[in-house]
Amino acid sequence: MRACPTRPSSRARARVHQRKPTPWTRPRTKISARSIPAHYGGAVTEKSAYPPITDRPIRWGLLAAGKIAHALAQAVRETEGGQLVAVAARDAVRAAEFARAHDIPLSYGGYEELCTDPDVDVVYISSTNPHHADQAVRCLESGKHVLVEKPIALTVADAERIVETARTRGLFAMEAMWTRCQPLVLDLADRVREGQIGRVRSFHAAFTVPFEYDAAHRIFDLENGGGALLDLGVYPVALAHLLLGHPTDVQVLGATVPTGVDAQAALQWMNADGAVAQVICDSQSHGSSRTVVRGTEGWIEVHGPVTQPESFTVHRGPDAEEGEHVTGDRRGFVHEVEEVHRCLREGLLQSPLVPHADTVAIMTILESARRELGVRYPQEPEPLHT
């Protein structure tokens, strides 16, 4: 079966236009020597210092009121046991309009009141990338569990800061990597681990969404943490990490635009067993989203966008053109909300589906690649060194 065309996801949308040629800078290719941590942040079964929420709805507060927050709010409304109680935005009028749209009782024209609202259990943070870490830490310091939109932070150091604060405070923290909460993706991972295609030898995935080049657009805005790696590449990298585990070194070839962000990147790495992962992310080109996992006894084709696959086909044996076709439930953010609810009802510090160790490792891969392309965010305290 041919893969379905790539569609911009709700987490990476922009208008698709006929584009003017993009003013590229010269591509660079290097190998990062930074190793990826094999473990971080404690056991996934470690318990929160707060009692499990078992006798009432889990009360959500939304920090920021953009498009992605609308999608999460709808998912909470569709999920049993969830309740929207407050939303905050920098603009009080916008927060009030959002609250009316989703029947939320409280709206705040600022974030501090949400952080300290005693009726909020968990805060979903979907502000722009550079603010994720400080806002997550502030919520945690105020006794709130957090679900932080991807990327969880701009840098590995900030991702670690969120994790450490959550652990110190005994609170739940999770990156909103919805792809890894989807039953179809979990089924895919189980089949790979069970050896249904033998030893995995390679993984290939691409995620491309054509944005018209505009220096003011968020994906090309260095100050707002733009770039194809953090906006698009995080998805195929997260899937590759789920299926192949930790790499040691990352090779990268890519291109930047005049604003200083990466617009295109191709990553390649090898795991301890010698399996190779190849990932492409591109904010400038069209193309199908085709993901393939190859093993010694077969291969798996994943159909549909890497953010939310529609199905996959398992081919066993060298001549198995026809394979087992598996479809999945594509309720998107609902599965993510369900996972947060499950963890809070069990009193967990982190999600087994999106554990802290994986979040930090994936950020390390992305940061390593970004460093090799010479991309430095102004929020970083000092120049990056390779």
Most confident of 8-22, 93-107, 238-252: 93-107
3-state secondary structure 239-281: HHHHHHCCEEEEEEEEEECCCCCEEEEEEEEEECCCCEEEEEE
Instruction: Point out the least confidently predicted range of 9-13, 311-315, 337-341.
Output: 9-13
Mean of the per-residue pLDDT values for the chain? 88
Is residue 348 within 8 Å of 48, Cβ to Cβ?
yes
Q: Do domains 28-37+180-331+364-372 and 58-177+334-349 have the same CATH topology?
A: no
| pLDDT score for 274 | 95
| Nearest partner of 180 among 339, 15, 26, 385, judged by Cα | 339
For residue 230, the 8-state DSSP code is: I
Could you tell me the residue ranges of all domains in the chain?
A: 28-37+180-331+364-372, 58-177+334-349
Binning pLDDT at 50, 70 and 90, where does residue 382 land? low
Instruction: Tell me the pLDDT tens digit for each residue of 198-216.
Output: 999 999 999 999 999 999 9
| pLDDT score for 30 | 37
| pLDDT score for 383 | 56
Check pLDDT > 70 for residue 184.
yes
Cis check: omega of the bond before 23, within 30 degrees of 0: no
Any residues with CB less than 8 A from the CB of 382 and at least 6 apart, and which?
none
Instruction: Tell me the pLDDT tens digit for each residue of 22-47.
Output: 444 434 333 333 333 444 445 667 88
Element (DSSP H or E) covering residue 123: strand 122-125
Residue with more model confidence, 269 or 20: 269
Q: Could you tell me the CATH superfamily of domain 28-37+180-331+364-372?
A: Dihydrodipicolinate Reductase; domain 2 (3.30.360.10)
3-state secondary structure 35-53: CCCCCCCCCCCCECCCCCC
Q: What is the mean pLDDT of residues 154-164?
A: 97
Check pLDDT > 80 for residue 53.
yes
| pLDDT score for 200 | 98
58-177+334-349 classified as CATH 3.40.50.720: yes
